[in-house]
Amino acid sequence: MSLTNHPSEKKLLGVAGLAWLFDAMDVGMLSFIIAALAADWKLDSIQMGWIGSISSIGMAVGALIFGLMADRIGRKNVLILTLLLFSVGAGLSALATGITVFLVLRFFIGMGLGGELPVASTLVSESVAKENRGRIVVLLESFWAGGWIIAALIAYFIIPPFGWRIALLIGALPAFYAIYLRWNIHDSANYVAKNLQDKPSVLQNIVEVWSKKYVRQTVMLWILWFCVVFSYYGMFLWLPGVVALKGFSMVKSFGYVLIMTLAQLPGYFTAAWLIEKWGRKWVLMVYLLGTAVFAYFFGYATTLPVILISGILLSFFNLGAWGALYAYSPEQYPAVIRGTGTGMAAAFGRIGGIFGPLLVGYLLVQKVSIGGIFTIFCISIIVAILAVLFLGKETKNKELA
């Protein structure tokens, strides 16, 4: 598969992709660290749910604030700022001695993570040729799988012998990468040209996103983001814990989740290949449908082969859908409101990420079955498919304004 013949596009993909990988590494490690913290600090299911949810609260705030800032001070500056915020926060959280301090730090880490993702996809989307745009943004999102794989390897080889604090200190290393970004990444010509004109105010940008011209795509994106984030964080932050609840030891559950995580890469690469052939809408709907089907099977799986096969296919389809989501979102708006529109949709989505992990914790306390919980996530994904089907417009090969 030829990605791009343009060396600057390859460099941008690599540079932004590494920032994306570090972001995923933190989220991925958190899912394993929650299981380790539960044993270390004697946490109940509700407290475990709050660790995931407080991160999503931070991500919602970060996506909104930094999305607005990206249209004011540039994509590059926000990318560096957010990378520093979550890296330093990760290092400090390694020193936490109790759940309260850990939760406060997770909020700030979440802000950095939530801000970095939509801004990076916006920067890449408006910096590459239209015929490669969807593919390259999906490939950018594929670095997420790399981060999760590294997180799973750290969890499997580092946490059992050395503890979760060492894992978090490793998560602080991306702070040094911000120095490299300072000199090796640039705002797109699209943004710079727009920036030479009079800038609308933040409030004007927010109003424009909800104006009659853009209201249809805004409603579609907000529903899509909410449902996808709600189900993703509900399912994947609990994945090691759910495998453990199905009767396997913590070390074994880490190993099985590592196998499931490896399936994310072919999910991204197939989505990247198909997105310029089928278009954004069809790739999104097909991969979301696959996610719903295998979430249902995973929820009700009781034997190891069914757990592994359904978990592998759940990872494959869900992360392919995420790639299409990040390619599709910035294409809905012109440059002047692109950061604002994408950031606001991502911020609303992160509200779903608050409720997802919390819901799992509360329902487990109420003795609701894993199958019943995962059925709720299936329904959420079906709502997202309907939003894309009825409200979404195809943006393949569309010139970005």
Confidence band, pLDDT 50/70/90 cuts, at residue 1: very low
Domain that holds residue 65: 7-391
- pLDDT for 246 equals 83
Sequence-ordered list of residues with C-beta below 8 angstroms from that of 179, at least 6 positions apart, any chain: none
Contact 302, 246 (CB under 8 A): yes
| Upper half-sphere CA count for residue 244 (Cβ side, 13 Å) | 17
Mean per-residue pLDDT over the chain, rounded: 87
Determine, yes or no, domain membership for 378. Answer: yes
Query: What's the confidence (pLDDT) of residue 232?
Result: 92
So what's the pLDDT on residue 198? 64
Q: Is 333 part of a structural domain of the chain?
A: yes
Residue 313 contacts residue 104 (beta carbons within 8 Å): no
The number of beta carbons lying within 10 Å of the beta carbon of residue 142 is 25
Instruction: Write the CB contacts of 291 (distance below 8 Å, at least 6 apart in sequence).
Output: 231, 314, 317, 318, 321, 381
Band of pLDDT at residue 2, cut at 50, 70 and 90? very low
DSSP run (H or E) holding 367? none
Q: Look at the block and give the residue holding tokens 């120095």.
A: 179
Among 91-105, 117-131, 217-231, 358-372, the minimum mean pLDDT is found in 117-131
Domain-embedded: residue 399: no
Q: 3-state SS of the chain: helix, strand, coil percent to 5?
A: 85, 0, 15
Residue 7 pLDDT more than 70? Answer: no
Q: Round to whole Å and give the CA distance between 145 and 268.
A: 8
Q: Which residue has the tokens 């999910």?
A: 267
Look at the chain and report how many structural domains it folds into.
Answer: 1
Asked, for residue 396, whether it belongs to a domain, the answer is no
Q: Residue 41 falls within a domain, yes or no?
A: yes
391 vs 130, more confident: 391
Write down the pLDDT at residue 6: 60
Distances (CA, A) of 18 to 51, 123, 306: 25, 14, 33
At 239, the pLDDT band (50, 70, 90 cuts) reads confident
Q: Is residue 248 part of a domain?
A: yes
What's the rounded Cα separation, in Å, for the pair 107 and 61?
A: 9
Residue 400: what pLDDT? 63
Whether residue 401 is contained in a domain is answered as: no
- Report the percentage of the chain scoring pLDDT > 70: 94
Query: Average of pLDDT values for 193-217?
Result: 85
Q: Residue 323 is which amino acid?
A: G
8 Å CB contact between 87 and 171:
yes
> Does the model's pTM come out above 0.85?
no
Per-residue pLDDT, averaged over 13-19, amounts to 85
**DSSP annotation string for 375-389:** HHHHHHHHHHHHHHH
Helix axes 215-236, 304-328, angle to 10 degrees: 150
Q: Is the pLDDT of residue 196 over 60?
A: no
pLDDT at residue 4 is higher than 60: no
Q: What is the CATH number of the domain that holds 366?
A: 1.20.1250.20
CA distance 344 to 62: 10
Residue appearing with tokens 């990444």? 185
386, part of any domain: yes
Contacts 24+ apart (CB under 8 A), 249-254: 250/35, 250/36, 250/39, 250/160, 251/156, 251/160, 253/35, 254/32, 254/35, 254/152, 254/155, 254/156, 254/159, 254/160
